[in-house]
Structure 1
Amino acid sequence: MELQNYPVTIVIIIATVLISLRAFKDSEMKYKWIFYPYKVQRENQLYRILSHIFIHGDTMHLIFNMFVLFSFGGIMEFIFGNYFGAGLGSLHFLVLYFLGGLAASIWPYLRNKDNPNYMSLGASGAVSAVLFASILWMPEGGIYLLFIPFEIPAWLFGILYLGFEYYMSKKGGTGVAHDAHFGGAIFGIAYVLLINFSKGAAFFEYILS
C-alpha cells in the first residue's frame, strides 16, 4: 500500500508526533493535556478525555504507539476505503480511532475519578481499538513481537492480549494503563461488529477450522 491510500493515519501520526515532542519540552502543557479523571470529575475538564492521546511519556512510548498505528491504521483505513468508499472510509477510520480513545478512558475514569494521584497519557487505547478492529476483520493475519522470532496468528494474539490486559488491570500497581488498553480493544471489536456483524461469525469459524 502506498501512503496516499491512508492519509488520515499519516495526519494523525504527524500531529501526535509534533504535539508529543512539544509536550516533552513543556511540562505545563503536558499537565494541561494529560488525562486526569479527578479534574474531569470536579472541574468538568472533559477535553482531557481526548487531549491525552496526543501526548506521550517518553520517546519510546511515542515510537511504539506510532509504529503500531502506522502498521495497522494503514490496513484499516485501506480496508474501510474499499468497503465504504474513500471519503466514508476515512470518516469511519476517524470514528474508530477517536471514539476508541474515548472508550478506552471510560474504565480508568470510573476507577479513578476520586483519586487525585492518578493521571495517564498516550494513544495506546485508541491504537488498541485500531489493532483489534484489524484482528477481527482479518484473523488470518499474523503479528510479530519484539524478541519473538516467529509470527503469532492474529486471532491468538488477540485472545492472549485481552486476557493479559484484563488480568493486569485487575492486579494494578504496574504504572501502565492496562484498563485503557483493554477498553480500547473491546471498542475496536464492537465497532467492527456494528458495521459488519458477519465478521464476528467469520472470526469464530476461522479459529475453529
Structure 2
Amino acid sequence: MNYQSPQYSPNTQFSIFPPAVKHLLIINLLAFVALSTPVVSEYLFTYGALWPIDSGRFGVWQLISYMFLHAGFGHIFFNLFALWMFGQAIENFWGTNRFVLYYFLTGIGAALLHMLIGGGGAPTLGASGAVYGILLAFGMMFPNRPIMLLFPPIPIKAKYFVAIFGAIELVSGLTRTNSGVAHFAHLGGMLVGFILIKYWGLKSEDSYY
C-alpha cells in the first residue's frame, strides 16, 4: 500500500527520512542483526523482551527495550515499513521532539495494556504497538489522504483505513484470533495515541486550509 501525499506541513521542510524515523529504523535493524547472532541473542531476549510481571524476569526498562526486538524478518519488515511510510509524514508534520515523545509513550502504553489484558505467559517483542499509534496519528492528522491498498488495488481514505484496522484488532483480541499476536498491545498504542492527540489539542492538516 502507499498514500498520495500533498506537499504540505506546518514545518517548512519535508524529508522522506526525518531524523527520528531514520534513527529508529537504524536501531531496530542493528538490534535485529544482534538478535540473530548466537553470542548475544540469549542476553537480548532475556533482558530486552517484555516479560510478564509474575515471570521473575520482568524489568521496567523492558517497557521500552521490547520495541526494538523482533521475532523474524516478516515481523521487522512490516513494522519498519509502516514506521517509515506513516512515521515520516507525522514527524514532518509535528516535528521531531513531539514525534519521539509520542512514539515512546504509545509503545509504553501498548505494553501496559497488553500486560493488563492480553499478556499470557510468553514474552512480547516488537514495535507494533508504537507503530499502531503512528497509524492512528496518521488517520487523525491526515484523515482524507488516500491510501492505495494492494489487495484489492483501490484507494481508501486514511480515516477509514485506520478505523478498519482498529476494528480488526479489537475483534481479533476479543475472540483470541491469531494466537500469539499481541492485539491488545496494538489497541493500547492506538488508545494512548488518541488520548495524547486530544490532550495536546493537535489539529489535522485539513484545519490549516
- Give the match for residue 100 of structure 1: 106
1:131 aligned residue (135, 140, 144): 135
Q: Do the aligned residues in 1 keep the contact of 2:141 with 2:203 (CA within 8 Å)?
A: no
Corresponding residue number in structure 1 for 2:74: 60
Distance in 1 (CA, whole Å) between partners of 2:50 and 2:149 is: 28
Deviation of 1:21 after TM superposition, in Å, equals 1.6
1:155 aligns with: 159
TM (norm. structure 1) is 0.82
CA change 1:24–1:194 in 2 (3 A) is same
The equivalent of 1:183 in structure 2 is 188
Q: Matches of 1:49 and 1:68 in 2, distance apart?
A: 21
Distance 1:25 1:9 in 2: 25
Q: Give unpaired runs (5+ residues) of structure 2.
A: 1-13
- Matched AA of 1:103: G
Match of 2:117 among 101, 111, 123: 111
1:32 alignment partner in structure 2 = 47
1:11 and 2:23 are equivalent in the alignment = yes
Q: Distance in 2 between matches of 1:145 and 1:66?
A: 18
Task: Work out whether residues 47 and 57 of structure 2, in 8 Å CA contact, stay in contact via their aligned partners in 1.
Answer: no
Higher deviation after alignment, 122-131 or 42-51: 42-51
Pair 1:47–1:161, CA change in 2 (3 A):
same
Between structures 1 and 2, the one with greater helix share: 1
The answer (yes or no) to whether the contact 1:112–1:118 under 8 Å persists in 2 is no
Distance 1:144 1:187 in 2: 26
State the identity %. 28
Counterpart CA distance in 2 for 1:195 and 1:90 is 15
User: Would you say 1:195 and 2:209 are equivalent positions?
Assistant: no
CA drift at 1:161: 1.4
CA distance in 1, matches of 2:197, 2:136: 9
**How far 1:93 moved relative to its partner?**
0.6
- Taking only aligned residues, the RMSD between alpha carbons, in angstroms, comes to 2.2
Matched-pair contact (CA < 8 Å) for 1:126–1:184: yes
2:33 aligned partner: 21
**Gapped regions of structure 1 (runs ≥ 5):** 81-88, 203-209
Equivalent pair of 1:35/1:49 in contact (CA under 8 Å): yes
Q: TM-score, normalised by structure 2?
A: 0.82
Q: Contact 1:76–1:93 (CA<8 Å) still a contact in 2?
A: yes
Letter in 1 for 2:71: G
Deviations 1:103-146 (A, max 9, x none): 00112111366x5x222110000111111111101100122344
Q: Which residue matches 2:87? A: 73
